[in-house]
Structure 1
């Protein structure tokens, strides 16, 4: 089969011909119908040799959807021909977190060497994908795989981040989304669907700010040195009840901290990192800083229901498997309007 693989540290991913995988006992093979490209992929391909821990060659793609093609011995719960989406943050299935469907927070995944598809295990940027357990396959039903595959990360990740802050997003409050790209434009829709808060979007790109307005942001501002002051002015000095940072580099972390309200949530969703001032005199009273990761299986069911209700839609650009390296080039350059979806 053909697949998109990251094969050499620092080089672009390549289309290669590899052996079609066969499902072992308990495993399920799907014929891939759609795979999403994500900034996480770009991030790991930007790591140097010392930092890179994901194995080579690596078939990319942690957002996947397909048709069940072949069942391994003993598999129940899915049928050949069923349209499914792949739940990415896979865990051991036996710890306390996994028992709650929170496999994104599996207590034993690192110890057991369990990696998500495309982030250590073979991913969905290929004609076929073997999934280790049927529980990682959620029925797509009538949802178009190309239009909705990115919900498995670009929908689930902001949904999980926002859901934990909903008690603070009461009428009269403001929520800020920093970075209105692949995940951020979905976060704006989720905030509009799930809360009465005023939604403000910040980005360095005018195209992304236009997209933010189209998907429901009440206000959009450039993400610059004046952004925090603009949010403070808009809120009468109170600040934002929640700031969802889909960039999470030091300048955006500093801006989010500066615009946070008393009891506000600063939620760092992006794959960047930085320092946040902490302590009674260094931050707004009773404010919190969180760094959530992906989301639970149950939450992915909920995201699919929001899509079926027409409350969330992902802006997508479609690429063939041959065009997948170009999709990643544009992702790295920041010229994609929403999410890139590869159709093998």
Structure 2
């Protein structure tokens, strides 16, 4: 089969011919129909996140959807021909980006086929396109987990979303669907209208302008330090700030405000298969469509380069396979 192989920092991914995977006990092979491109893979290829890999050379890609083509011994919950997605965060028990996950600790989705434990297989409703399913396994899951699990959003919550990129735009829509009163801060005015179309009541340019909306929850998908500090400054007393974005590795925050306002600051990474299932329900109902841009399998390398340049404009790149 054809696969995009990452050989190590300092070299781009290369298209190679590799053996088809064969399922062992408890495993399945998925013929891929769609693979989402994630900025995490940009960090791996440029060296800033390469330490998370289990080995190299490796096939990257952790957002996978397709059709099961083979099953190993002992597999009872998955059958050949099933439309499925593969959990980007394993079986959900580790809670963090683990070394066994697809595209991190084993070969991933930038290939014609991938191998996965049956425990990581998520059934797809017929109404969910493969392109949306692939994006749901990471962009959708991460957004849902940050807003509902770590953020604790309930109907009526006044919530601010910082950054209307691929994750933030999805999170904003999910927060609206969850009954939140949603506002956003985004420095790029070209995507403000898209936020309003998804139910955001108002989009401002700067985090500190969110103070006018008396927010109980702010989810920061930018993470540039100043955004974290700004969120602590403007959130209501007793409010919660959830940090997702990692635009900068460190932030200087006002601990006086953090303490005196009794603000809760939480980190959020990834999610669980259960989070992905909830996202797929929203997609299946027609209430949610993750903003995506389709590319071909042969364009995966150039797609990662596009991501690195920041030329995506709030959409999730998804490679569709013939």
* 1:105 lines up with 2:88 in the alignment: no
Asked if 1:194 is matched to 2:173, the reply is no
CA distance in 2, matches of 1:281, 1:316: 38
The CA deviation at 1:27 is 0.9
Q: CA deviation at 1:340?
A: 0.5
Question: Match for residue 210 of structure 2?
Answer: 231
Matched, 1:265 2:240: yes
CA distance in 2, matches of 1:17, 1:264: 52
Is the contact made by 1:190 and 1:311 (CA closer than 8 Å) also made in structure 2? no
Q: Deviations over 1:209-265 (max 9, x none)?
A: 232222222111224xxx31x212x22xxx421111112121222222222211111
Q: Secondary structure at the match of 1:61?
A: coil
Q: Cα gap change, 1:41/1:271 in structure 2, threshold over 3 Å: closer, same or farther?
A: farther
Q: Is the 8 A contact 1:4 1:321 kept in 2?
A: no
- Report the count of equivalent residues: 318
Distance change (3 Å), C-alpha of 1:207 and 1:49: closer
Matches within 5 A, 1:40-55: 40-47=40-47, 51=51, 53-55=53-55
- 2:233–2:257: 8 Å Cα contact kept in structure 1? no
* Distance verdict in 2 for CA 1:222–1:5, change over 3 Å: farther
Once the 2 structures are TM-superposed, how far is the Cα of residue 67 of structure 1 from its aligned partner? 0.4
Kindly provide the CA deviation profile for residues 151-203 of structure 1, in whole angstroms up to 9, marking residues without a partner as x. 111111111111136656563x5311111111111001001100232x22222
Name the structure 2 match of 1:246.
221
TM-superposed deviation, 1:317: 0.9
CA distance in 2, matches of 1:168, 1:25: 40
Find out whether 1:61 has 2:46 as its counterpart. Answer: no
Matched, 1:331 2:307: yes
Which residues of structure 1 form unaligned runs of 5+? 92-101
Residue 31 (structure 1) shift: 0.3
* Aligned equivalent of 2:5: 5
Q: Which segment is superposed worse, 71-80 or 173-182?
A: 173-182
Distance 2:281 2:50 in 1: 42
* Partner SS for 1:75: coil
Q: Tell me the TM-score normalized by structure 2.
A: 0.90
Does structure 2 retain, via aligned residues, the 8 Å contact 1:9–1:49? no
Residues 274 and 309 of structure 1, relative CA distance in 2, 3 Å threshold: same
Alignment of 1:147-158 (within 5 A): 147-158=132-143
| Deviations, residues 281-314 of structure 1 (Å, cap 9, x unaligned) | 5445221111122122222222111111222111
Alignment match, 1:296: 272
TM-score of the superposed pair, with normalisation by structure 1? 0.85
Structure 1 50/164 Cα, relative in aligned 2: closer, same or farther at 3 Å? closer
CA contact (8 A) 1:182 1:339 kept: yes
Q: Unpaired segments of 5 or more residues in structure 2?
A: none
